[in-house]
Chains A and B, each alone.
Chain A
Amino acid sequence: MIAGISIYEILTLTSILFFIGIYGFITRKNLISMLISIELILNASVVNFVVINKYLYPDMLQGVFFSIFIIAVAAAETALAISIIINLYRQISSVEVKDTEIMKY
């Protein structure tokens, strides 16, 4: 509960954050940038969990716990993605999205 700020404002903020992430994921030309965009999406949802927990069900803790889980999963996922990207770099000496289009019809 933050005094003077209603749930709507925070949810608007997280929505904006979420769509920035999506926009970045679709438009960035670099795999690392795409990864950062995914982090933005995840963080937007983490904030949503916390805010909804705090504003609507103040006497419960599930949302908070869930956000901790998401942070852990996000860390693991980042580690995995980074390792894939490093391996890819060793193969094709590039982390550009346009160089990874060989898996098509």
Chain B
Amino acid sequence: MNISYTILIPLIPLAVFLLLGIFNQKIKPSISGYIGVLGLLASTILSFYTAYQYFFIHEKVDGVYQTFVEKTVWMNFTETLHIDMGVLIDPISIMMLLVVSVVSLMVHIYSRGYMKDDEGYTRFFAFLSLFTFSMYGLVLATNLFQIYIFWELVGVSSYLLIGYYYTKPSAVAAAKKAFIVTRFADLGFLIGILIIGYYTGTFDFETLNNPEGSAILNWASTSFMGLSAITWALILIFIGGAGKSAMLPFHIWLPDAMEGPTPVSALIHAATMVVAGVYLVARLFPMYYFVEDGFVLNIVAFVGAISSLFAAIIAITQTDIKRVLAFSTMSQIGYMMLALGVSGYDGHEGVGYMASMFHLFTHAMFKALLFLAAGSVIHAVHSNYLKDMGGLRKYMPITNITFLIAALAIAGMPPFAGFFSKDEILVAAYEHNKLIYYIGVFVAGLTAFYMFRIYFGIFWGKDTQYEHKPKESPLSMTFPLMFLALLSVVGGFIPFSEFITADKASFEVHLNYPLAAIAVGVGLAGIILAWIFYKKENNLANKFANAFGPFYKWASDKFYFDEIYLFITKKILFKRVSAPIAWFDKKVIDATMEGIGNKTVLASEKIKGMQSGKVQDYAFAFISGVVVLAIIFIYLWTN
């Protein structure tokens, strides 16, 4: 299969970015929107063509999907250790291509309506294209270093887009926070890459992931503090992934990132960039599975499970709808991590891996839909807060229906997409680790509850009197909603285990009816509880919150994680570490240098009178010097 044309998939958005970025002022906003959408449409068509070619035209060899790589050496260190640039086509990269293409295209179309009359319209589309380019590059990366480069590029585009309203101090602060927190986690990623490069002598995914390859067979050859060096490297790489995917304790940037425009939240902070961490673990899955007998995978599973529980509890208490969705995203990504963590490798054992990728796919669709629908609501009522909403179903029928579909999908109700992927995850967890399974089921209930809490709060509940009568958004905004709603309905019927498995060979999955029934029952309970609390305006929810007292307060203050970080940075790092170092720098190093300079100036002040400008003085000094030297050489220099 010839895959060289796939390089165009990332290059088209790059070209659009350069075009819109360089001729920012010269292009009319109406045209720049079309350029952005058309560029992405081309990439999307190419992605679908690639997927079609790969899954349906090209034959599997021995029932296993082949991996295609096209690359050039970029930096050469040794015979085996070199940094390449290229594209790698295998099932998960194709799936990510489709996810990025579809969501990004929908967000581009949606933004034409949402960002209308915004001053930085062209700049917005330029940044969106830059992000899409970086994400494609990340997905198609052939080696660890390439993925790292694009990893940082998506970080930069995320920073640029969160800080899009750069006149708003809170947006600037959120952008910086997102960048610094993820950058801090990426330090772990970089160290992990270097360790892998040092001990295995290669960055290549193909070489690293080969179960019979030296990287996996020789993992135990070096040990450091009880674990092998490769294990440490994988833990560090997972830290990088946790930073990008907002896993505990690096999640603090994600809620604040909601300061960006809503389409950005839908694209970057719900569907694509935040799942990069999941993708990274999936990309290196054979290493994670075989090295140290899956030790790191246990860490992945528990970090995922705890993050998912933690975020779901916080999501119940938030009143800003975008923040609820942000915590929900974190919770669902925790689900994906958890599924990867409990997965095996061969055949049906790898159901967790398949479920994780499946959930990534379906989640991208319905979460992007939730964000876009929330954006449509925010566009209509000009507020993010639940208290300003209510009874909107009369004014915004399309948004209402699509939001409901997405909420049912994320709550895991059959036959919507989330039901199938969530069921597979719970099956995998049930077979592997009961504790994680119970956490998963509980979170499923919480998810249904908080999602319907905001659904009823927005579209039902109290009859708010609006100053301007809210009206349904234009077609450019409702079309992506309807399209994504369609995908959220039918997405679950894709036979994912046909296409994407840990060992790249297809297997059959069947619904596990008892487990599915439990999950659906718990989800229904959540929905009914939300229905009782929030369908009509009443005091039940407040009474309930008061009953929980301090616990409710903790959760609504996000368990004080931000405060802990602020305490550690401001009180300990800045005051106890940075301040003394700054003092040393200022008072000792700078002062020494300045002292030398000052003394030189002083000395020259003293002796500048010698430069009198009288030529005869100079002549006198010169001749006196000659005479003195003559005396020295002739009479005193005797040996």
CB atoms of B613 and A104 under 8 A apart: yes
Among A26, A100, A105, which residue has its beta carbon within 8 angstroms of that of B623? A26
Evaluate contact between B611 and A25: CB separation under 8 angstroms. Answer: no
Q: B616 an interface residue at 8 Å Cβ cutoff? A: yes
Determine which of B611, B616, B619 lies in contact with A105 in the assembled complex, contact meaning CB atoms within 8 Å.
Answer: B611
**B56 near A: Cβ within 8 Å?**
no
**Are B614 and A101 interface neighbours, CB within 8 A?**
yes
B615 within 8 A of A: yes
| Cβ contact within 8 Å between A26 and B619 | yes
CB-nearest residue of chain B to A97: B616
The answer to whether A97 and B614 touch across the interface, beta carbons within 8 angstroms, is yes
Does residue B608 face the partner (Cβ distance < 8 Å to A)? yes
Q: How large is the interface on A (under 10, 10 to 19, 20 to 34, 35 or more residues)?
A: 10 to 19
Q: How far is the CA of A103 from the CA of B609 in the complex (A)?
A: 12
Closest to A38 in B: B619
> Do the beta carbons of A97 and B615 come within 8 Å of each other?
yes
Is A70 close to B, CB under 8 A? no
- Contact, CB under 8 Å: B623 / A101: no
**Does A3 lie at the interface of the complex (its beta carbon under 8 Å from any beta carbon of B)?**
no
In the complex, chain A residues whose CB is within 8 Å of the CB of B615: 97, 100
A102 at the interface (CB under 8 A from B): yes
Interface size on B (CB < 8 Å)?
11
B619→A103 contact, CB < 8 A: no
Query: In the complex, what distance in Å separates the CA atom of A28 from the CA atom of B505?
Result: 107
A17-42 contacts to B, CB under 8 A, are 22, 25-27, 34
CB <8 Å contact, A101 and B619: no
Residues of B within 8 A of A101 (CB): 612-614
List, in ascending order, chain A residues with CB within 8 A of B619's CB. Answer: 22, 25-26
CB distance from A15 to the nearest CB of B (A): 12
Check if B613 sits within 8 Å of A25, measured CB to CB: no
Whether the pair A26, B620 counts as a contact (CB closer than 8 A) is yes
Contact A25 B616 (CB under 8 A): yes
**Cross-chain contact B620 with A103 (CB below 8 angstroms):** no
Residues of A within 8 A of B609 (CB): 105
A23 to chain B, nearest CB (A): 10
Of the residues B611, B620, B623, contact of A104 by C-beta under 8 Å: B611
Residues of the A chain whose Cβ atoms lie less than 8 Å from the Cβ of B614: 97-98, 101, 104
CA distance A65 to B614 in the complex (A): 35
Smallest Cβ-Cβ distance to B613: which chain A residue: A104
Contact at A104–B612, with CB atoms within 8 Å?
yes
Please state if A103 and B623 are interface contacts (CB–CB under 8 Å): no
List B contacts of A26 (CB < 8 A). 616, 619-620, 623
> Bound state CA distance, A24 and B623, in angstroms?
13
One digit per residue, 1 when the CB lies within 8 angstroms of any chain A CB and 0 when it does not, for chain B 602-625 equals 000000110111111001100100
Q: Are A105 and B608 in contact (CB under 8 A)?
A: yes
- By beta carbon, the residue of chain B nearest A103 is B613
A19 → B minimal CB distance (Å): 10
A61–B616 CA distance with the chains assembled, in angstroms: 36
Query: How far, in whole Å, are A103 and B618 apart by their CA atoms in the complex?
Result: 12
A47 CA / B149 CA spacing, docked (Å): 81
What distance in Å separates the Cβ of B609 from its nearest Cβ neighbour in chain A? 8
CA distance A104 to B608 in the complex (A): 9
Residues in chain A near residue B623, CB distance under 8 A: 22, 26
- Near B by CB (< 8 A), chain A positions 82-105 give 97-98, 100-105
Q: Kindly state the separation between the CA atoms of A25 and B623 in the bound complex, as whole angstroms.
A: 11
A31 to chain B, nearest CB (A): 9
Q: B residues within 8 A CB of A100?
A: 613, 615
Q: Could you say which residues of chain A place their CB within 8 Å of the CB of B612?
A: 101, 104
* Bound: A6/B397 CA distance, A: 129
How far, in whole Å, are A97 and B613 apart by their CA atoms in the complex? 10
CA distance A34 to B620 in the complex (A): 13
- Is A102 touching B616 in the complex (CB atoms < 8 A)? no
B70 shortest CB reach to chain A, Å: 70
Give the distance in Å from the alpha carbon of A34 to the alpha carbon of B614 in the complex.
Answer: 13
Name the A residues within 8 Å of B611 (CB-CB): 104-105
Return the chain A residue nearest B604 by Cβ: A105
CB distance from B48 to the nearest CB of A (A): 78
Note all chain A residues with C-beta closer than 8 A to B616.
Answer: 25-27, 34, 97
CA distance A25 to B619 in the complex (A): 8
Residues of chain B within 8 A of A97, CB atoms compared: 614-616
Residues of chain B within 8 A of A104, CB atoms compared: 611-614
Closest to B608 in A: A105
Alpha-carbon separation in the docked complex, A104 to B610 (Å): 9
What's the Cα separation between A11 and B478 when bound, in Å? Answer: 112
* B124 → A minimal CB distance (Å): 59
CA distance A20 to B611 in the complex (A): 26
Q: How far is the CA of A25 from the CA of B620 in the complex (A)?
A: 9
Bound-state Cα–Cα, A98 to B616, Å: 10
Q: With A and B bound together, what is the CA distance between A34 and B611 in angstroms?
A: 20
The CA-CA distance from A6 to B623 in the complex, in Å, is 28
Taken together as a complex, chains A and B put the C-alpha atoms of A34 and B615 apart, in Å, by 10
Chain B neighbourhood of A27, CB < 8 A: 616
Give Cα A102 to B614, complex, Å. 8
Contacts of A34 in B (CB 8 A): 616
A98–B612 alpha-carbon span in the complex (Å): 11
Smallest CB separation, B234 vs chain A (Å): 68
Nearest chain A residue, comparing its CB with the CB of B614: A101
Task: Report the bound CA distance from A27 to B609 in whole Å.
Answer: 20
Residues of A within 8 A of B613 (CB): 100-105
Please give me the residue from chain A that is nearest to B605 by CB atom.
A105
Nearest CB in chain A to that of B612: its residue: A104
Inter-chain CA distance A25–B614, complex, in Å, is 12
Residues in A whose Cβ lies below 8 Å from that of B620: 26
- B609: nearest chain-A partner, CB-CB: A105
Residues of A within 8 A of B608 (CB): 105
Which of B's residues lie within 8 Å of A, judged by CB? 608-609, 611-616, 619-620, 623
Starting from the known contacts A34-B616, A97-B616, A105-B609, 11 additional A-B residue pairs (CB-CB under 8 Å) come to A22-B619, A22-B623, A25-B616, A26-B619, A97-B615, A98-B614, A101-B612, A101-B614, A102-B613, A104-B614, A105-B611
Q: List 8 A-B contacts (CB under 8 A).
A: A25-B619, A26-B616, A97-B616, A101-B614, A103-B613, A104-B612, A104-B614, A105-B613
Which 7 residue pairs are nearest across A and B when measured between Cβ atoms? A104-B613, A101-B613, A105-B608, A105-B611, A103-B613, A26-B620, A26-B616
